[in-house]
Amino acid sequence: MAQDPGPWAEIFNQRGALIAFFGGLGGAVRSAALKTTWRESLRVVFVGSATSFGVGTLAPYLLKPWVGDLPEGIHGALGTICAAAFLTGLIAVTMIERWVDVSEKEKEK
């Protein structure tokens, strides 16, 4: 008799690992393009990976304003999710830094 996988097995599965990997890869590309230090690169890769993992399969829908409409039925395809995770990892640090700057400027007012 097969056991029902628990919530941890449902969250931390192979799809989640792929999403985190491609998000970290997007962060690595950003770091390489900007020629950051190795400490900054680790931070960017971690943020890209964690953000992509957190957003998960919603990434194609969240990136819709930038990438446009996707063909019917392709939103759940593994390639689409991995590509969206890469883009999320690529832009996550920049977006988070901008949100922090805006919130700090609002606090100063």
Q: Which stretches does DSSP call E strand in the chain?
A: none
pLDDT in tens, the chain (109 residues): 567 677 776 666 677 778 888 888 888 888 888 898 889 888 888 888 888 888 877 777 777 777 777 777 766 666 777 778 888 888 888 888 888 888 877 877 7
Instruction: List the one residue out of 27, 42, 34 whose CA is nearest residue 89.
Output: 27
Q: DSSP 3-state assignment of 49?
A: helix
**Do 88 and 63 contact (CB within 8 A), yes or no?**
yes
So where are the chain's domains? 16-108
Q: What is the pTM of this model?
A: 0.73
Instruction: List the one residue out of 22, 42, 31, 29 whose CA is nearest residue 86.
Output: 22
